[in-house]
Amino acid sequence: MKPFFRIARYLLRYKFMVATGLVCSFGYAAMNAFSVYLIGPFMETLFNIDSSISHSVVVSAGKTTVFGNIKNSVRVFFAELMGSGTPREILTRLCLLIIVVILLKNIFSYLQGYIMAYVEQGMVSNLREDIYVSYHRMPLRFFQKRKTGDMISRVINDCNTINENLNNAFISLMKEPVNAIVLLGFMVIISWKLTLFTFLIAPPSLYIIGRIGKKLRRSTVRTQDRISTVTSVLEETISGIRIVKAFAMEKFEIDRFRNANNAYFRSLLKLARIRRLAPPVTEFLGVGMAMAVLWIGGNMVLEKKAIEPGNFLAYLTLMFVLMQSAKRLSEVNVKVQVGIAATARVFEVIDRRSDVTDPPSPLPLDNLRNSIVFNDVWYEYEPGVPVLKGINLIINAGDKIAVVGPSGGGKSTMLDLIPRFFDPVKGWVEIDGHNLREYRLNDLRRLFGIVTQETILFHDTIKANIAYGRPDTPFENIIAAAKTANAHNFIMEFDNGYDTVIGDRGTKLSGGQKQRLVIARAILKNPPVLLFDEATSALDSDAEAEVQAAIEKLMEGRTSFIIAHRLSTIRSATRIVVMDKGRIVEYGTHVELFNNNGIYRRLHDLQFSEL
């Protein structure tokens, strides 16, 4: 039940609204119970023609119980409220009172419903936001090990499940117990003995409902996993639809989705079977209890005269209303079990702490003044399987360092350590003589402009993509950045120019156009250090020439770290690092490495022999 109480803490953000909702719940419960209680006086007035309500009040003489005194006090109060008069006059006043009570009951019901809907939606909104914020705290390692669809599912599907079940359970727990207590109070006033008997036969139903709830929770966990799988398949297919069609894999993907969807369908059926079991079981047990009470109470009316017929009718009505309230409370248990399963998945993300964090007392950092240094750096994605092994490297301010080597050699991992997307498992990286862990992450990452092979663009205008995160950037600065990146001309060929919406991930643009927009975004940021990860490897010769020209302009006066597959793109590098199997195996200028007849020479000869 721990997730249940954790969700309850979100209520503290809405203390005033919750308190107001509780007041409305008490008002609703009082009017609801009172409207049912009025059945007794109504029946007495209707069938005792010769006496008024005031005359029908009988105060017990001699020894009385506490409940008897309360009962007599209520009857006296009601008689004074109705006043004296003929039965017809009292009946008229009684009907008007019932109308007023029902009106107040519905006003309280509306206010309570609206207020709690505000609290409910606010809690879910806060929960979604907390998950989203938690995702942004996570290092890249977190995302590399998880499916995108599953992460989306936790924000959308799991939060919806919490909203539909756990939050609704909170609403019921704030309304129904109050309603039940007030109803029970009126029942005790009418006959405490009959009420005691009613509760003696209640425990068996509570036990059965508890057993159903436990089964429901286990089934819900499986259902949430199934919908995450469906979401993942859907996201992967849509984002990779070009590859799906290129390989004619439509049938394969349809079958994959069908299998996941059918598994979710079967899980939902099992969940529905268990979920639908609780209400009929509760109702059957409730009817059994009601018949027992009806038999006992009926005998009290017929034989012992311990309860008046009108009051017994009011008692039965109160009991049936209480049964409905109890039925809704039993459904709360069902909702809680479903909601807890989803809540556990949500808090698994919220509770996770990143291993890449800010130091308690960060050093100031606003520029690269001296150097970036790798000191015996090791890194591993899986324990015991290092992908970087003892890297030692110095990148002086103003250097243009190129990194080449066979695929899987650790080039991209080494680059990712510089902005602290990961932290080394051994050794450290430093800037200007201080470990990167001594700087605030935001200060550190402001130093870098990153251009990768995978262009990341958003479903927005060209202008918004270049000025990403800075909507107040002067338009002339955006144009200047685009011109430097050789992007201005093709942008102006669109009908809407810089206001052209480029589609999801820039689907309206060619590969070269997308890369030039990414470069323009980096130029606008004006970072002192540039990190390029195979920025031109996916482009054709014409596009590569245009992008490479833009890159050359961008690198002027900046420190650059370039990972390149095509050796033709690194001719301006001051030093070249050759990596293989996680180690730096060669280091020097193009001429030095070419004359070494090592890995670099073999890569060079292989590439240029194909021309």
231 DSSP β-pair partners: none
Q: What is the mean pLDDT of the chain?
A: 78
Count CB-CB contacts under 10 A for residue 207: 8
- Residue 257 or residue 332, greater confidence: 257
Helices (H), ranges, 351-450: 411-417, 441-445
**478 CA to centre of own chain:** 35
44 DSSP β-pair partners: none
**497-518, pLDDT tens digit by residue?**
999 988 877 778 888 888 888 8
Question: What per-residue confidence (pLDDT) applies to 192?
Answer: 73
| SS3 category, 86 | coil
Would the pLDDT of 279 be above 80? no
CA distances from 200 to 196, 206, 316, 586 (A): 6, 12, 17, 85
Distance CA 222, CA 138 (A): 26
Would the pLDDT of 377 be above 90? yes
DSSP assignment of 183-252, as one string?
HHHHHHHH-HHHHHHHHHT-HHHHHHHHHHHHHHHHHHHHHHHHHHHHHHHHHHHHHTHHHHHHTT-HHH
Provide the residue ranges of all domains of the chain, joining segments of one domain with +. Answer: 2-221+275-350, 371-609
Lowest mean pLDDT among 236-240, 382-386, 449-453, 475-479: 236-240
Strands 583-588 and 575-580: antiparallel
pTM score over 0.75: no
- Residue 504 or residue 305, greater confidence: 504
**463-479, pLDDT tens digit by residue?**
988 888 788 889 999 99
Question: What per-residue confidence (pLDDT) applies to 146?
Answer: 76
- CATH level 3 topology of 2-221+275-350: ABC transporter transmembrane region fold (1.20.1560)
Q: Which among 394, 358, 360, 359 has a CA at the least distance from the CA of 376? A: 394
Would the pLDDT of 357 be above 50? yes
Assess contact for 22 and 174: CB atoms under 8 A. yes
**What is the band of 305 on the pLDDT scale with cuts at 50, 70, 90?**
low
3.30.565.10, 3.60.70.12, 3.30.470.20, 3.40.50.300: which CATH number matches 371-609?
3.40.50.300
- Residue 238 or residue 70, greater confidence: 238
Would the pLDDT of 155 be above 80? yes
